[in-house]
Amino acid sequence: NIEIEGHNAVQLATMEPRRTYKPLSTAKNWYEYFKDLNGIDSIESVNPDFTPRGSERGNIAVCSMLKLASDSVSSVLTALAALELTIPDLSQRERLTIHMLGGTARELMVLRLNEEFLHLLPKLQLVTVGYIGPDIPSASGKSPLLPSECCQYCTAAGRKRHIFLRRSLYHECDEASLFPEFPPDLIMACNSGHADEETESWRPTLERILERNIPALFTTFNEAEAVDEQSVLRRMGARFIQDCGKNRWHGLVPKIENFGARYEVFYNNYFTYIVKGKK
Ligand SMILES: [Zn+2]
């Protein structure tokens, strides 16, 4: 079973699929997402600024739980926000395919949350997410489509989510099958650090992404990384359809990086930008 339940990851998808489409962009922050879209009852224990309402111990615990939940579902909502921006008729779409590059334990631990695409997009029948990267666990290098178990409501409605895994650099993937079989609506790389680490192998991948002329969403742990990555891509002639900026859907759990004496706080998917083809 590929669906690893993380010991410390709180995973709270919207409980039931929505019947009417309410764009994610109508929620201005995590509080409004949990209250107006996700519909979780315990949001009543939290203030709009995500501090606990009152000093009850229980409310403090709910606050921590929802912050952990935001960290888990951050990549899905970040992708959804990019899809809303790049696909004008998103609410009418019955199929969506996303290529997730790099693919780390973080993304693979929260596969179950791909269900959120089905729950927030009422017309969507099938969502396919491909995880592609050199560290993806896959014995053969090419693995078939793996259906995942949906919730009772989606299952009864015949709605499906699939994943596939490719242990390969994106530009070395078997294009003969990957693109014709699973043409992506969005390419996404979470916290890739492509301007900082493995820059040699990222370069041809970035070239390939720009050649494909498909919206590509990148996230970073901090602003400096996003700025560096933006200059790399600008030098390559990339067309930015969203400049780098703080992501409304970054995880709410602060993480600390220790550079000797200097401590820096960063977040999951803290900054984002979107490119599509070349100018
Ligand atoms: Zn469902």
Tell whether 85 is covered by a domain: yes
Tell me how far the alpha carbon of residue 177 lies from the centroid of ligand 1, in angstroms.
Answer: 29
Tell whether 124 is covered by a domain: yes
Range of the domain at 211: 73-278
Tell whether 31 is covered by a domain: no
CATH number of the domain at 259, please.
3.40.50
Number of domains in the chain: 1
In degrees, rounded to 5, the angle at the alpha carbon of residue 216 between the alpha carbons of residues 215 and 217 is 120
Tell whether 59 is covered by a domain: no
Tell whether 233 is covered by a domain: yes
Q: What is the mean pLDDT of each run of 10 residues along the chain (279 residues)?
A: 44 88 96 93 90 86 90 95 97 97 76 93 96 78 75 96 89 81 94 90 95 96 95 97 97 78 82 97
What's the pLDDT score for residue 140? 56
What's the pLDDT score for residue 9? 66
Tell me how far the alpha carbon of residue 151 lies from the centroid of ligand 1, in angstroms.
Answer: 4
Tell me how far the alpha carbon of residue 7 lies from the centroid of ligand 1, in angstroms.
Answer: 22
Q: Write down how long the chain is.
A: 279
Query: For the residues of 69-104, what is the DSSP string, one character each?
Result: HHHHHHHHHHHHHHHHHH-TTGGG-SEEEEEEES--
Tell me how far the alpha carbon of residue 118 lies from the centroid of ligand 1, in angstroms.
Answer: 6
What's the pLDDT score for residue 2? 33
165 touches 131 (CB < 8 A): yes
Tell whether 54 is covered by a domain: no
Between β-strands 255-259 and 262-266, what pairing exists: parallel, antiparallel or unpaired?
antiparallel
Tell whether 122 is covered by a domain: yes
Tell me how far the alpha carbon of residue 140 lies from the centroid of ligand 1, in angstroms.
Answer: 30
Picking from 110, 83, 148, 44, the residue whose alpha carbon sits closest to that of residue 268 is 110
Tell whether 166 is covered by a domain: yes
ipTM over 0.85? The verdict is yes
Tell me how far the alpha carbon of residue 120 lies from the centroid of ligand 1, in angstroms.
Answer: 10
CA 113 to chain centre: 10
Tell me how far the alpha carbon of residue 269 lies from the centroid of ligand 1, in angstroms.
Answer: 25
